Amino acid sequence: MKVLLGPMVARASGKIGGAVASSNRYGTYMRRNAKPTVSTTPYAQKAKSDFARVSQTWDTLSVPQMEAWRVWAANNPIVDRLGEKQVLAGNAAFGKINGLIAWAGGTLLKLPPAVAAPLSLESLTLSGDIGAGAFGATFAATPLATGIMLLLWACVTDRNGVVYVDNMMRLVAKSEAALATPWDFQSALEARFGTLQVGQEVHVTLTPWDMGTGLMARGTSGTVTVTSTP
């Protein structure tokens, strides 16, 4: 959890109860004081493999290539959860762009993109019928532009009314490029979270993404309750 400090507290470090305060180049943050666990799920193993691939590729870049990523990061700051602009380090910008490309099995970029990110969806409507009805998303504009895919970030909750799900969202699937609405992603969800049950809530964010440049638009989110029409 990131913390925005004020005039009464300029810096924070150390442990308070079950929380530990620390800081890095992007500011002060709080984390739970817990022993690390080792995840051996296929998803965790792939994430580790992708991270290693990206890190090793960064080490092979030339000095001019690394400098190009530093310049790109300075010109393309990100906005954190507190609304503060942050300039990533060159290797962090490289990892942010290439992490998704590695996940998708694409060719990593050695130079930063020189084009704009794709546009966000104009509209999104979700359907959650696992019976005879429709399941998935209808969206506009449709079809997606040439080379643009949708990334599906999602989680499934058993209790209605859950509001904060950011920490539960997982990258589940990507669509085909230039997809036309609708997109039925029930099988992708069930492969990740198990068989869907009536009454569950599916929380979804769809993000247009260009694998060729690694750039993605701002995601569009929605929630749908699972139903079943006989």
pLDDT of 67 higher than 60? yes
What percent of the chain lies above the pLDDT cut of 70?
A: 83
Question: Do the beta carbons of residue 184 and residue 127 sit within 8 Å?
Answer: no
Class for the domain spanning 123-225:
mainly beta
Question: Do the beta carbons of residue 99 and residue 106 sit within 8 Å?
Answer: no
Q: Is the pTM of this model over 0.85?
A: no
Number of C-beta neighbours around residue 51 at 10 A:
14
- Residue ranges per domain, the chain? 2-32, 42-104, 123-225
Looking at residues 113-131, what average pLDDT do you find? Answer: 96
28 — pLDDT class (breaks 50, 70, 90): low
Looking at residues 165-172, what average pLDDT do you find? Answer: 94
